[in-house]
Structure 1
């Protein structure tokens, strides 16, 4: 079976396809992707009716049905397509689906009287089959049963299962390579096809090798570098950490890499994923504090989705307390990292024990977290409040991005002003959003972009520091 992209290239410049309801309910982004591949898209009135029935459902399908109708901005009788009605009872109109500043024309084939009066299988499927056959359109559907029926009747069909990532753990940003200790082969490696295939910010784990009497051997030393502007830039991780002196030292190489690259002068957008206990929130927080001390930013903004395992929607209004109290309910990951830093500081410094305990400044222990927030200019914000604002010169931490849709990521990303940076944090195994899944969510969308786009840095933290019980549940469910 031909892959869809190859099939389209063989068929011609402008492939005309008929979309089944399943394509739109899978993800409305599919319409943008197909349009960008120079497809002319058709749907039937049957599909519109099915979407209309789905839009009130509190499910993923309902969400995408509502999203579809929200994005329709124009309806015209002028179809502007080379296809003409095949029957006197057929009408072709054009509706415009608009998203991401892209307008996608969708041609709606309306048949007022179908020949199919009844069917042994799905009645609507039979009517879609009727239109596809009459107009000689390739049917695009993710419905396997429908594809089998089309195959039996020798009607062309294909599937589009591109939205889900089947093996997210296999996404890697660290590539191993062996280079000479004297660096004499570094330039050659930078010009190699192996190096060129990676986008900026990919990490290279370098095994140091040496030559003695024509014998090549490993010295046992490791270095790390990143691809930056088509060159290999070596990172002196220990030197960076020694210079910045973070409150809590990184516990493993992954945390060191994340911390160092978040501080890089050219890094403005990052995605870091990892399970609970991987240190992603603590690492990002300390990077933000360091950037503030360096004068790169003048404050930290912490954003987190107000969705929990018990909530179907991010509704703060149902929580007790004023706005700050409601918002703080969702900020436990940040506060946990802050309290961990405070306790470690108090263990090693009498001055810090006084500062955060209150012997001299009158702060009770319960106010220590707020004092830390104020001291380091850390602001917590609900995502809903990000509309209509611009964040200038801030280090933004967007936590729990796995519970964010692509639309929410775009909302926050477009709020970034001059000199701001943003790091997205998440764990794609912890999905609370009713319309997202482990194989399709904001964290994975960003990871995929980081694999190919030079603008965004990505890293998966695989080492966790947690109890044996917690590790077992994380691995087995």
Structure 2
């Protein structure tokens, strides 16, 4: 993870005096991380006045951007008690923050630049400071176009790196071991064996047998045992794994010791289907959980269709349709087909019946904040569209006996201020890997249909 505030040392002087940097923050940074002003160590943070205007314009929104805007304004208001922000106020980490009121010049930008645009006014502030300051002046923005314009003007510019993580190669996350014939026989008999060394908790493992057959294995949470994932004909709600990654996923989904499972992979690899099948099996048949709760962030694909009519359930149905599609596939194959064959008329769908019995709840993430969720199987779909702060908020909602499953693809992000290195899914993977309560699987093989798999690779 990138760290801000690496000091440049001025050599030749006794004691070596450090030269601070000056970071100019774009509004996209504050709307992405409301605590961004505290992340620059002992350097000076500059917020152009136009940034305050942009953030204020977002504060009445009821989504996550609005929440970040309100929190950013509250943080600045608390700092105001320590002095005038326009003159500079010390930050807890040793740095300084200042709201810049000047540097509104038409001559400093290229001819015909429209200074009514907020981006151009921020660029003007950055360029003017860069010409006046002896220190390095860096514009920090999540806006790619803004970084390109800044570079064209000769302004040093960076993305906001504080919550970025670098995911390892998929092959680096899978352990490979060799087993003796006696160990393999014991695996088939007992589903697990003791291992001679401590392995990383809940790691995906595979071993290749003499006939080139690959066994899917995982390490136990304490790392002292190896578990055979296909033991006792592993299946959930009549869904059986079609590849080794799905076998790893089902094992972790059924483990009572793993409280948080992270399933990452492209569309069609079975993330949501496996999570729902496991949740139904353990909730409806196994009685391990009181309810299965499914949720996803409301971020439309493509142009938004505006306000929707009806009650809350009718309004959110279009956004939750992928979950309904998978549930209908699972439940129809299990119940409705049998009733149809017997000639029985279907008055209510199996989904409606489970909802009435309070064994199933389909909700939007907006309504999860502030809740305590005990003894439930909680599935968060499209988790790549969540920030690190939002994922932390969701995970901390878990009460006693709750299991959380995060599903998503870091290459399909619709959030305007997130990318594959700064989303909540990747953040969780980087921070919790190796914890005994956490397991993750990166699925790679598309199993939706032959058409979908071929199209994904060719188009």
Deviations 1:380-415 (A, max 9, x none): 122222233211110011112223333432332232
Does the CA-based 8 Å contact 1:268-1:420 persist in structure 2?
yes
SS of the residue corresponding to residue 424 of structure 1 reads strand
- Measure how far apart 1:5 and its partner are: 5.0
Does the CA-based 8 Å contact 2:291-2:377 persist in structure 1?
yes
Does the CA-based 8 Å contact 1:395-1:422 persist in structure 2?
yes
Counterpart Cα distance in 2 of 1:75 and 1:202: 45
- Specify the alignment match of 2:88 in structure 1: 93
Does the CA-based 8 Å contact 1:172-1:459 persist in structure 2?
no
Counterpart Cα distance in 1 of 2:449 and 2:429: 27
Question: TM-score, normalised on structure 2?
Answer: 0.73
Counterpart Cα distance in 1 of 2:221 and 2:396: 24
Alignment of 1:131-280 (within 5 A): 132-133=133-134, 136=135, 139=138, 141=140, 143=147, 159=158, 162=161, 170-171=169-170, 174-181=173-180, 182=182, 187=195, 189-190=197-198, 200-208=201-209, 218=210, 220-229=212-221, 231-242=223-234, 246-280=237-271
Ranges in structure 1 where 5+ consecutive residues have no aligned partner: 81-89, 97-102, 152-156, 209-217
- Specify the alignment match of 1:325 in structure 2: 314
More strand per residue: 1
Counterpart Cα distance in 1 of 2:34 and 2:133: 18
Shift of the 267–68 alpha-carbon distance from structure 1 to 2, 3 Å rule, reads same
Deviations 1:66-90 (A, max 9, x none): 763354341336469xxxxxxxxx9
- Specify the alignment match of 1:52 in structure 2: 53
SS of the residue corresponding to residue 247 of structure 1 reads coil
- RMSD of aligned Cα (Å): 4.6
Counterpart Cα distance in 2 of 1:6 and 1:309: 34
- Specify the alignment match of 2:291 in structure 1: 299
- Specify the alignment match of 2:80 in structure 1: 76
Deviations 1:346-396 (A, max 9, x none): 69xxxx613x67756x533x6233235556811112222223321111001
Does the CA-based 8 Å contact 1:171-1:447 persist in structure 2?
no
Shift of the 79–227 alpha-carbon distance from structure 1 to 2, 3 Å rule, reads farther
Ranges in structure 2 where 5+ consecutive residues have no aligned partner: 10-15, 111-122, 142-146, 185-192
Counterpart Cα distance in 2 of 1:7 and 1:95: 15
Counterpart Cα distance in 2 of 1:338 and 1:115: 57
The question of 1:344 aligning with 2:352 is answered: no
SS of the residue corresponding to residue 20 of structure 1 reads strand
SS of the residue corresponding to residue 218 of structure 2 reads strand
- Measure how far apart 1:462 and its partner are: 1.1
- Specify the alignment match of 2:377 in structure 1: 395
Counterpart Cα distance in 2 of 1:409 and 1:420: 16
Deviations 1:433-462 (A, max 9, x none): 444445543333333334465543221211
Shift of the 288–125 alpha-carbon distance from structure 1 to 2, 3 Å rule, reads same
Counterpart Cα distance in 1 of 2:37 and 2:179: 46
Does the CA-based 8 Å contact 2:258-2:439 persist in structure 1?
yes
Shift of the 469–63 alpha-carbon distance from structure 1 to 2, 3 Å rule, reads farther
Does the CA-based 8 Å contact 1:4-1:159 persist in structure 2?
no
- Specify the alignment match of 1:212 in structure 2: none
**Aligned length, in residue pairs:** 423
Counterpart Cα distance in 2 of 1:321 and 1:260: 40
- Measure how far apart 1:416 and its partner are: 1.5
- Measure how far apart 1:321 and its partner are: 2.4
Question: TM-score, normalised on structure 1?
Answer: 0.70
Alignment of 1:443-458 (within 5 A): 443-451=425-433, 455-458=437-440
Does the CA-based 8 Å contact 1:240-1:260 persist in structure 2?
no
- Specify the alignment match of 1:386 in structure 2: 368
